[in-house]
Amino acid sequence: MKARISGLGHALGEQETHNHYFVDLGLETSDEWITERTGIKSRYIASEETSTSDLATKAAQHCIQNASIDKSNIDLIIVATSTPDYLSFPSTACLVQEKLKLGPIGAFDLSAACSGFSFALSTARSFIESNMYKNILVIGADCLSKITNFEDRGTCILFADGAGAALVTQTVEGETGGIIDSSLHSDGSKAELLMIPKGGSKYPLNTSITDEKSHYITMDGKGVFKSAISIVIPAIKSMLNKHNLNINDLSYLVCHQANKRILDKIANSIGLDKDKLVVNVTKYGNTSAATIPIALSELNEEKKLQKGDLILLAGFGAGFTWGLNLIEWS
């Protein structure tokens, strides 16, 4: 028995925001500057009233419809997020469970930043293969605009809001394909490359912290770029070697959509055909745990996923964390 993805859905923040928005804010930047360094032309920002659970619920509803499943058959919800509705509790997954009007099923959040969906999908796979659950809703959702300093040119141009959902179910007897393998990793020595320095239990939120804006995302852009490249490329090669695959045996490589420069560097370094590299960061920006499931959902909507396709998912992000999932589409 294997786990497989049987449905996908996604949702975006309400406000499409182009690069000129940041020029209008008075930042020392331009459309050309942002595009050259990130590849991003636009992104979607949630309204003030929209929370992570709202986007997660919309993505889940689309996923349930796509999977053609009675929602009463869902027996677990996992939400990967760095931007829960509430600081500590209740979990965003519990809020999604209520908004979907499901029964008293298990629901919990998982925190692995931009690698969150990879970690959550791996967790769901293990639950399915152990026969503990049969239909698991896995959601990657973030409203990064809520934790971004819009006076910081180095971060605010990158981050955006969105959610992607996948229904993970058991394969039926005799069915081939599914989630073939998963690999999860972390390196806490790189924690300071990408973090929110204050506002947690180490430095509880107070007025001095809000005045200095240290409760927002801070990032060492060059350090993140170098770490992502040095970590993800060997991880991809290791996964392929483990299964005696060549890079162009893949139908698609779906990496976390951090920025286009990182994606291009990865593809060039491993010799991947450009038409097999999935890129949507140009229009959606970096939505953290949502980037990979949004990309998968789009491929599915466009009917680009065919039975037997080999797909490698590669998440990476703060922590530093990274995770891979090798899938044969079924």
Distance CA 58, CA 306 (A): 25
Q: What tokens were used for 169? A: 């179910």
CA-based end-to-end distance of the chain: 13
Task: Give yes or no: 286 in active site.
Answer: yes
Beta-bridge partner residues of 16: 44
* Calpha distance 205→201 (Å, rounded): 9
Q: Which of 63, 94, 114, 143 is catalytic?
A: 114
Among the listed residues 256, 215, 252, the one whose alpha carbon sits nearest the alpha carbon of residue 121: 256
Chain centroid to CA 283: how far? Answer: 15
Write down the residue that tokens 């690698």 correspond to: 115
Residue 260 sits at the vertex; the CA angle it makes with 280 and 218, to the nearest 5 degrees, is 105
Amino acid type, 327: I
Q: Is 116:289 a contact under the CB 8 Å cutoff?
A: yes
Question: How long a stretch of residues is the chain?
Answer: 330
Work out whether strand 106-110 and strand 76-80 pair parallel, antiparallel, or are unpaired: parallel
Q: How far apart are CA 289 and CA 232, in angstroms?
A: 16
Which of 256, 259, 300, 325 is the catalytic position? 256
Q: How far is CA 281 from CA 44, 185, 294, in A?
A: 11, 24, 10
Catalytic residue status for 256: yes
Closest CA to 116 of 142, 95, 90, 136: 142
Q: How far is CA 328 from the centre of its chain?
A: 20
**Catalytic, out of 66, 286, 300, 325:** 286
Ordered DSSP codes for 93-119: HHHHHHHTT--S-EEEEE--GGGHHHH
Taking phi over 0 as left and psi of -120 to 50 as alpha, with beta for the rest, 213 belongs to: left
User: Annotated catalytic sites, by residue?
Assistant: 114, 256, 286
